[in-house]
Structure 1
Amino acid sequence: MSAEPPAPTAVPKAEAPAMKRSKKVKKLTKKDIDEVLMHDIVELRGHNHWDWDPKTPPPFQNFEELEVTIGSLAQSGEGLALLPDRGEGWVLVVPFVVPGEKVKARVYRHNWGYSHADLVEVIQPAENRIAKDDILCKYFGACAGCQLQHISYVDQMNFKRQVVENAFKNYAEKYFATLPPVDPVSQSPIQSNYRTKITPHFEALNPKHQSAGTAQPVQIGFMQAGKRRILDIEECPIATPIVNEGMKTMRAEVQKNIATYKKGATMLLRESNPIVPGTESENPPSTNKVCVTDHKETITEWVGKFRFDYPAGSFFQNNNAILPSLIGYVQQQLHLPLTSSTTPVPSSDSISASTSSLNHEIKYLVDAYCGSGLFGITCHEGFKKVLGVEISAASISCATNNLVLNKLSTETTAFHLDDADKIFAHIDFPSAETALIIDPPRKGCSDEFLDQMVAFLPARVVYVSCNVQTQARDLQGLLDRCHAKGLPGYRVEAIRGFDLFPQTRHVEGVMTLTRL
């Protein structure tokens, strides 16, 4: 520990937004509350009661600058500062900070019981703050894309583990005491140049300025932190090298042709790894990295030994480096013994299914929300039959094509077009011998899906989610339904986060359930 505190760290001028926001304070209602953020605010305050009349103005002026001490990080990655002398314990929400730091912040938006503020200056930095010169991206603090580059990767992992735990504490509250401890977050093998897809934006030129002959800079990049404006980005350090090369080409084309655009657009840049012609018979074949910009063009992606082709504009996980670890873990969880065991199962960092590790009690696998077949195909080994279900006809066509590309039998592995809310009506697998993989969109599972799941009661469930809050909510909804019907329900075997998006607040959750 140094004898003197570090010198104050000033945020670059680009990070301190110009005061062009509206000074008018809008009338607030409880609809203005961010529910997830409010859980963190209540925990910081110690209670959830406000003696505050929403008809009165918030206890700050717009653009007022305050010196505050950061008490904790919210699940959004933003810092929370409690101000007990303002509004009966008002909370200020400030980005790009570390707990314990004293900072200067500028208030710009108000909600019920808390206000958002821009970071103006770090007055007393925390010892674990990453030095400005060591931060990965020169745009960090101005760009809204990343939230955590100012803290170490170890601190990021601890933060994300807490995010997962808080999600289940807040959204599966009735059963939280019975859950196993949340496992440490599985790290990404690389923390930069990992993202295989980015979507920069740009706005068209202002017609009034065009007619006046006024020069207009073309901003091509991502949204600015705390503002609805685009920040010009020349390179994104979390994107793969080939995607950044594609961004240079795309920027030049947009700048050259900007006068032809009547409105702005969102561009697509996605890495693809097609086979080099003439090497198809090699094992493995040689591949060539290219950047694709056409939404309809086919992407070729390799996950371990498996090949996946899918339209560039469709969904596929964007961190290829961690996929073998994620899939290896899902595969391992599918084959856990159905009876409770005190013998720990070693973790897996690769896609593998040795015969000795397979659980032969479970013979069938259902892959709900199957997309292009990622889990159904990579986890097929050890199952008598695998059925993937998806609402999108294009996805089913893609998944079926991927079966052929990977030389899997369509007799044992198949993909079926149907609404995920109705999938169990078409499944004739014995529920006591069936495992279910769920990988829904951010909104989680519908009530209809959970109702059918309780009616079917698969022996094992592995729930993969990009939104741990809805994942926890669905767990409580599932167990409530079981108890309402007098059913024993499920035992939660494990909860683990996977860091698919280093440097950001996002964490992927994987939860394993066994039928009692």
Structure 2
Amino acid sequence: MHDIVELRGHNHWDWDARTPPPFQNFEELEVTIGSLAQSGEGLALLPERGDGWVVVVPFVIRGEKVKARVYRHNWGYSHADLVEVIQPAENRIAQKDVLCKYFGTCAGCQLQHISYADQMQFKRKVVENAFKNYAEKYFASLPAVDPVSQSPLQSQYRTKITPHFEVPNPKHRVADANQDVPIGFLQAGKRRILDIEDCPIATPIINEGMKIMRAEVKKNIASYKKGATMLLRESNPVVPGTESEDPPKTTKVCITDHKANITEWVGKFRFDYPAGSFFQNNNAILPSLIGYVKQQLHLPLSGSSPSPSALAEPSLSKPSTELNHEIQYLVDAYCGSGLFGITCHEGFKKVLGVEISAASISCATNNLVLNKLSTKTAAFHLDDADKIFAHIDFPSSETALIIDPPRKGCSDEFLDQMVDFRPARVVYVSCNVQTQARDLQGLLDRCAAKGLAGYKVEAIRGFDLFPQTRHVEGVMTLTRL
């Protein structure tokens, strides 16, 4: 809606929600795309319809003239399928050159028709608009959003996918034969499943596993009472007999059991966790992401400028001589299996991770041992993140906080406690930049309400953990004033 209002130029509709929309169902229109929404969909303004009606069309580029078929209506805008690109943009990637033959039909990717450089520009704008719309009170004082950090791989990067299938009606099942059942992902704009035998953004080992999984499902379809979501996840276990080598040899396998163990390597660090639990799905960019988080944690607290080496390309192997020792303690909220707490531990006297899941805490503690870190200097505590600060006896002026919450962002209780504790440095990692921006405004509002100086936003940057899709990971750095 923010994108629609910006395109229309005002936030007022004379249209009465009780009256029919200005289009017939399945009416085909020729429209010109005026902008792209944060969803990756194009927005076309029709001033002569409904006091400026907007049509939302997927798989388009700003400036293109397209034919679209309207299928659903909301107050002030309608959704439409793309029928034809009448006048393509000069920078549109030809259909024969896109990664996937199902692009435009599958709902999984939104941006394969756009060059990678243009995807980065789009995602930078998504991050900027998130803070403009959801941290509006403080937007003017924020630093410019940095360029999005690119993924080393733009295809074959996803280490986890979850194809779906629906069981046919019993009277349509075929006994003792391979059943022709679609197995894949949702179709764009529909609730039907598109049959997909290969996903170009998944790793090669995942696609090998998908062939086996598809054959097994079709062979045994009669045994399923209802549809299911399958799991395919890459694991990198140590080759037996090489455990004592530094580093040990590893191999790649595809895991389909939710309870099976996954072994993931991020630089020199090893993480074991259940296949069904959360872990980042683009291993190629993780060293850069974590190197940046580590770099931000150690920015000077004072007004002095960081050294040139501190601003160099982020690295997981940053020498201890380059770390800022003003901050002695690190708290990893929503720690999961310990990704940030373990990879960023260097330079801190004590690291404490907090997580609501007992299984995740067990994994994180085990990962400490796997990485030969002392449990005296790093520990993971089972508790809701809303109660995280009740267990911390670190001086707040010497403590840094990493936040990596779920898509819904931080709760009010968490922000209240954060303001009471007021860590000296905060690095907020988020898969949803809209809730990240909302939480920034909530944090600063709470500080102001208590007469506190609040925080300075040092930097905002996107990381492309999800090439070819509309999603972008946001990292925001705060320093206590």
TM beyond 0.5? yes
Q: Which residue of 1 aligns with 2:144?
A: 181
| 1:207 Cα deviation from its structure 2 partner | 1.4
Q: Secondary structure at the match of 1:279?
A: coil
Closer, same or farther: CA 413–215 of 1 in aligned 2, 3 Å: closer
Q: Which residue of 2 aligns with 1:486?
A: 451
The residue type equivalent to 1:382 in the other structure is: G
**What amino acid is the match of 1:208?**
K
Q: Which residue of 1 aligns with 2:52?
A: 89
Q: Give runs of aligned pairs for residues 348-363 of structure 1, distance below 5 A.
A: 348-363=313-328
In structure 2, the partner of 1:297 is 260
User: How big is the shift at 1:228?
Assistant: 0.2
Asked whether the 8 Å contact 1:431–1:458 carries over to 2, the reply is yes
Give yes or no for contact 1:73–1:98 (8 Å, CA) kept in 2: yes
Q: Residues of 1 paired with 2:407 and 2:312: CA distance?
A: 26
Judging changes above 3 Å, is the alpha-carbon distance between structure 1 residues 216 and 480 closer, same or farther for their aligned structure 2 residues?
same
RMSD of equivalent CA atoms: 1.4
The aligned amino acid for 2:326 is E
Instruction: Calculate the TM-score normalised by the size of structure 1.
Output: 0.91
2:206 is matched with which residue? 243
How far the C-alpha of 1:214 sits from its partner, in A, is 13
User: Which amino acid in the other structure matches residue 411 of structure 1?
Assistant: K
Letter of the structure 1 residue corresponding to residue 455 of structure 2: Y
In 2, the alpha carbon distance for the partners of 1:220 and 1:315 equals: 23
| 8 Å contact kept, 2:179–2:219 | no
Structure-2 separation of matches of 1:224 and 1:379: 40
Amino-acid identity (%): 86
Asked if 2 retains the 8 angstrom alpha-carbon contact of 1:79 and 1:99, the reply is yes
Matches within 5 A, 1:437-456: 437-456=402-421
Aligned to 1:433: 398
| Aligned residue identity for 1:157 | M
Contact kept, 8 Å, 2:174 with 2:222, in 1: the verdict is no
Residue 350 of structure 1 deviates from its aligned partner by 2.5
Matched, 1:378 2:322: no
**Does structure 1 conserve the Cα–Cα contact (< 8 Å) formed by 2:182 and 2:193?**
yes
CA distance in 1, matches of 2:173, 2:271: 46
For 1:172 and 1:390, the matched residues in 2 are separated by 27
TM (normalized to structure 2)? 0.98
Match among 325, 335, 355 for residue 288 of structure 2? 325
**Inter-CA distance 45–413: structure 2 relative to 1 (3 Å threshold):** same
What runs of 5+ residues in structure 1 fail to find an aligned partner? 1-37
Q: How many angstroms apart in 2 are the aligned matches of 1:340 and 1:500? A: 32
Between the aligned partners of 2:4 and 2:138, the Cα distance in structure 1 is 22
Structure-2 change in CA distance of 1:60 and 1:213 (3 Å): farther
Q: Which runs of 5+ in 2 are unaligned?
A: none
> How many angstroms does 1:447 deviate by?
0.2
Contact 1:482 1:489 in 2 (8 A): yes
Distance in 1 of aligned mates of 2:240 and 2:168: 42
The answer to whether the 8 A contact 2:175-2:222 is kept is no
Aligned twin of 1:5: none
Residue in structure 1 matching 2:228, options 255, 260, 265: 265
Q: Partner residue of 1:166?
A: 129
401, 408, 415: which one aligns with 2:366:
401
Q: 1:234 to 1:211 in 2, by over 3 A?
A: closer
Asked if 1:471 corresponds to 2:439, the answer is no
Go from structure 1 to structure 2 and tell me whether the alpha carbon gap of 1:215 and 1:299 turns closer, same or farther (over 3 Å shift).
Answer: closer
For 1:126 and 1:208, the matched residues in 2 are separated by 48
Instruction: For residues 105-133 of structure 1, give each alpha carbon's deviation from its aligned partner in whole angstroms, at most 9, with x where no partner exists.
Output: 00001111100000000000000000111
Does structure 1 residue 497 correspond to structure 2 residue 465? no
* Separation (CA, whole Å) in 1 of partners of 2:461 and 2:317: 19
Distance 1:224 1:332 in 2: 41
Amino acid at match of 1:356: T
**Kept after mapping to 2: 8 A contact 1:209/1:216:** no
